[in-house]
Amino acid sequence: MPRVRTQSPVHQSPPPTPSAAPAPVEANSLAVAMIQARIPLGLQAVEDAQQQEVLALAGPRYTHADGRPAIARWGAQAGSVFLADQKVPIQVPRVRHRATNTEVPLATHAHLQTPRGQDVGLFRRLLGGLSCRDDEAAAEAVPEAFGLTTSSVSRRFVRASAKALQTLHERRHDDEEWLVLLLDGKSFADDQGVIALGVTTTGEKRIVGLVQTATENTRVCAAFLRELVARGFQAPAGLLVVLDGAKGLSAAVRDVFGEQVPIQRSQWHQRENVLSDLPKTQHALWRCKLQAAYAKATHGDAQRALRQLVKELERHNASAARSLQEGLDETVTLHRLEVFTQLGVSFKTTNLIERVMARVEAKTHRITRWRTSDQKQRWCAATLLEIEKQVRTRSSCRSCDTRCTMAARSTSAMHAATR
């Protein structure tokens, strides 16, 4: 009995109709993007997309009109494609041009050979708390994924974080008009650094700089501020600087921006310095007294209340009195400029930076071994830039950003009054 050649149910594809011609692969970029965004379904989608392209090139199986089409199927070979962050092995169908006896590459396979945001995707997951050693968690439920060893994860993160550090150190700031600069020294990975956060006339908050140094190092801090100015950090309407009280930072600010620049010393740091010299049993009482003094509406009332507290402390604890007396006038700068009501909530402390660094700590606390200074700076810079995106796009209906936006818009009027 003669053998009858039948079509395989697995590879059978219905013949194309004139009204349903396959779309060009070049116009299918949206489909490619969707495939990469849905990895579990993407494997089957890749196979279907490749078969559709083969169908468009070589026609249906076993239905050759003239017996010798220009392009013919030529089996399959092992290959791989990138789906999001994963490199996945697949079987790639082959087609060949009969006249030239050359391979015809599949455009679908070529599109998926290019990693799309590979480093960025893995980079964000690492910043979200995924350790470099948790490479199995990065496979996103695709058991066949490969190319995600611990070393490859680390190399890809190094590339992405190095780019983030370069961006932070080199990006220009002359695209905005700046009104407020907050500086604070923070510990990161058993090291010291200074973070600079700027606020524009529209209330936008941006990380403008990072330098590895102690806040007491006036020379390095001044060089850091001059670099910011060289990269376009300008405040034509005047600049308000908010500090935590470090003498080195204060001296650097006056050296770069002039002796007349208004400096608001963090009231929270001042209060904690005073409380650190007092017994714990008296903390609650003196915290209330200091908060009441700083809450006065006018500069004269606030200054008189604070000086009265200095005299009261001199009778009980001379060290606490000296802590309150040191930099007292700078803690009421907003009162002196008569804008404490508008700016006090956002700029009487360095809380804007404190919240940012708390989020940096939350994203990097799993790292137990820091090898080099470059590694520390890359991680810190990369995390700061990721956090900055969330801060800048946060809805203005939230109370913090509403107050900050209103405060920034009021700052130009404040500087106009002081000139």
Domains of the chain by residue range: 18-116, 120-168, 177-418
Kind and range of the H or E run holding 183? strand 178-188
Three-state DSSP class for 134? coil
For position 393, what pLDDT does the model report?
42
Is pLDDT of 327 > 70? yes
- 87-96, 123-132, 141-150 — most confident range: 87-96
Give CA–CA dist 125/138, Å, rounded.
Answer: 8
Give CA–CA dist 54/123, Å, rounded.
Answer: 36
Q: What is the mean pLDDT of residues 212-237?
A: 86
Give CA–CA dist 180/186, Å, rounded.
Answer: 19
- Cα Rg, the chain, nearest whole Å: 32
Contact call for residues 396 and 325 (beta carbons, < 8 A): no
Give CA–CA dist 24/92, Å, rounded.
Answer: 19
Q: Which of 161-165, 253-257, 395-399 has the lowest mean pLDDT?
A: 395-399
Sheet containing strand 263-265, strands side by side: 205-211, 191-200, 178-188, 240-243, 263-265
Is pLDDT of 286 > 50? yes
Is pLDDT of 267 > 70? yes
> 225: pLDDT confidence band, cut at 50, 70 and 90?
very high
- 166-170, 306-310, 407-411, 413-417 — most confident range: 306-310
What is the residue whose two structure tokens read 């009195």? 321
Question: What is the end-to-end Cα distance of the chain in Å, rounded?
Answer: 106
Is pLDDT of 136 > 50? no
For position 42, what pLDDT does the model report?
63
> 120: pLDDT confidence band, cut at 50, 70 and 90?
low
Q: Where are the beta strands (DSSP E) in 231-305?
A: 240-243, 263-265
Q: Average per-residue pLDDT in the chain?
A: 75
Give CA–CA dist 72/90, Å, rounded.
Answer: 21
Identify which has the larger pLDDT, 61 or 132.
61
**254: exposed, middle or buried (Cβ count in 10 Å: 0-12, 13-18, 19+):** middle
For position 78, what pLDDT does the model report?
87
Three-state DSSP class for 368? coil
Sheet containing strand 71-83, strands side by side: 71-83, 86-97, 102-103
> 403: pLDDT confidence band, cut at 50, 70 and 90?
very low
Is pLDDT of 295 > 90? yes
> 276: pLDDT confidence band, cut at 50, 70 and 90?
very high
Q: What is the mean pLDDT of residues 368-385?
A: 76
Three-state DSSP class for 50? helix
Contact call for residues 200 and 190 (beta carbons, < 8 A): no
Render pLDDT for 93-114 as a digit per residue (tens, 0 to 9): 998 888 888 888 888 888 777 6
CB contact set of 180 (below 8 Å; sequence gap of 6+): 198, 199, 239, 240, 241, 242, 347, 407, 408, 411
Is pLDDT of 311 > 90? yes
Contact call for residues 294 and 309 (beta carbons, < 8 A): no
Share of the chain above pLDDT 90, in %: 24
HSE at residue 53, side-chain half, CA atoms within 13 A, is: 23
Contact call for residues 69 and 98 (beta carbons, < 8 A): yes
Is pLDDT of 289 > 90? yes
> 408: pLDDT confidence band, cut at 50, 70 and 90?
very low
For position 155, what pLDDT does the model report?
64
What is the residue whose two structure tokens read 């060289």? 230
Identify which has the larger pLDDT, 28 or 73.
73
For position 30, what pLDDT does the model report?
52
> 90: pLDDT confidence band, cut at 50, 70 and 90?
confident
For position 85, what pLDDT does the model report?
57
According to DSSP, residue 414 is labeled H
CB contact set of 287 (below 8 Å; sequence gap of 6+): 271, 275
pTM value is: 0.60
What is the residue whose two structure tokens read 């700089």? 209
